[in-house]
A = this chain, B = another copy of it.
């Protein structure tokens, strides 16, 4: 074990132990306070991070990795609509694979502790630079400042530590050696057995455009801790957050005495995509994919012989059957459907209502009336830019407004537009690409519109025959289209029990009767299992043993001892 790596493990062993305990108890735990004012670096860290981000703009990004054959980069801030002006090394994939393989020898031979310690130190450094990363996420993904810091910063780092805690459990499940003894006939055979943990090889980690770090940190760290190398492939419109992560990984690996080429950046453009090349590369042993359902399905079907861990779309459904008080439910739904303009894989999108409406403490509200009230609650956020900005943030892709308009036109013909989508004036960034949520009312005949994820602030209210149909259709759509999250409001315990079973069968994680300040779709590291693998939303869970246990293999040798 290298001295530095050993020191890293000693420094972080207690945090990792506590994280592992939290994973088994699934109770609240964090290593990183979620609000910037509690960062260990204080206000100075925030200022330094913002300055560091500004200093990156308009110049080449320094990343000393092998195989560079050019420069690439055309990111545009969704907030300013200005080019970031950063270019990055464009790599020859073959040379990244070759460098990764060269780098893997010592890394694979290191103890699990040395690798885990190094990975924890990477996390710690990323936390040190979280303000810079948050700015990078904000100006590529379009997230709000608070979400960039918490969701893409601290929570993503916690998910990374969670993956390391599972990796530690799986790695340490295999002893270093054993003494085995038994009799064969009149003789006693005593064998000393030594076990080695052998990584799969090179992992290709695809990060998405809207939430790059949240899935990529756990995937990268799970692969690294189990001895693999990682080639990181960001979305071409959101490179910077992952470039910063790759640079940090390389620096810490070098400091720990390992080859930095264990982590490299592989970029492409929409015109010349490298994704399929990475997936089908003969040296690719693991693919972690976060992105579109369409390409994700291709990756899942074509990754063999590489392992594939995917998260793609989210057809996330809401059933409102009965409530105690309407107002808190409407407020929570409107807020969460507006949050980051529904550009999260966990955003609720489709609201299913019984035709005869929703019971509440004061009586019953008709389905149309409930839908109108939900539209009104969204409109109330949209109408106030000071309130809208931290919730809705910006629209990542220039393609999204066109999609919104197309769905609005379709829905106008086949249903009703309850709430039109329009830009709102961001108080801080007047040129920001913004859109308030579109909310349309349709019936079950329009499943071609709402049965697959329509990425962006596009919500549907679907009126169904009755409460049983609402639940059955919502769960069936989650099963068929791929739901990650699901939400049910009911005061009927029996109905809730049925909902729990229906969504369990559909493979969507259910939240019941939640109101209040927590976003309905908040997924807590160490506690909430993210993605079940039981429907088309993806095949991998953050984080369970299955996410880590196959990333390495076991070899052994045995010899007689006297």
Contacts and interface: CB of A to CB of B under 8 A. Distances in A.
A25 B483 CA distance: 41
A328 to B, nearest CB: 11
Contacts of A555: 503-504, 507-510, 529, 532, 534
Contacts of A541: 553-554
Contacts of A170: 545
A2 interface: no
Interface in A390-441: none
B175 A557 contact: no
Interface in A496-528: 496, 499-500, 503-505, 507-518, 524, 527-528
A546 interface: yes
Contacts of A514: 191, 558-560
Interface stretch (A156-164, A193-201, A251-259, A377-385): A193-201
Given A178-B25, A304-B304, A546 B550 contact: yes
Nearest to A500: B557
Contacts of A508: 555
A314 to B, nearest CB: 15
A301 interface: yes
Q: Is the interface of A mostly helix, strand, loop or mixed?
A: mixed
Interface in A1-56: 24-28
Contact of A553 (B25, B304, B517, B534): B534
User: How many copies, total?
Assistant: 2
Contact of A180 (B179, B500, B524): B524
Interface stretch (A63-71, A182-190, A264-272, A287-295): A182-190
Interface in A533-562: 533-534, 541, 544-546, 549-550, 553-560
Interface residues of A, number: 69
A34 to B, nearest CB: 9
Contacts of A194: 500
A58 interface: no
B198 A509 contact: no
Contacts of A62: none
A174 interface: yes
Nearest to A174: B544
Contacts of A509: 555-558
A505 B191 CA distance: 22
Nearest to A516: B187
A173 interface: yes
Contact of A507 (B178, B507, B553): B553
Nearest to A539: B305
Contacts of A321: none
Given A182-B28, A544-B549, A550-B550, A504 B175 contact: no
Contact of A24 (B175, B544, B559): B175
B180 A26 contact: yes
B504 A557 contact: yes
Contacts of A94: none
Contacts of A174: 544
A528 B193 contact: yes
A304 B306 CA distance: 12
Contact of A511 (B198, B499, B500, B557): B557
A311 interface: no
Contacts of A549: 544-546, 549-550
Contacts of A178: 25-27, 527
A181 interface: yes
A511 B192 CA distance: 10
A24 B517 contact: no
A121 interface: no
Contact of A198 (B185, B191, B193, B532): B532
Contacts of A25: 175, 178
A553 B528 contact: no
Contacts of A453: none
Contacts of A27: 178-181
Contact of A304 (B300, B505, B546, B559): B300
Nearest to A554: B529
A189 B528 contact: no
A492 to B, nearest CB: 13
Interface in A181-227: 181-182, 184-187, 189, 191, 193-196, 198
Contacts of A505: 198
Contacts of A187: 516-518
A560 B517 CA distance: 12
13 contacts: A26-B178, A184-B518, A186-B517, A189-B517, A195-B529, A301-B304, A301-B305, A512-B560, A528-B558, A529-B554, A534-B553, A546-B549, A549-B550
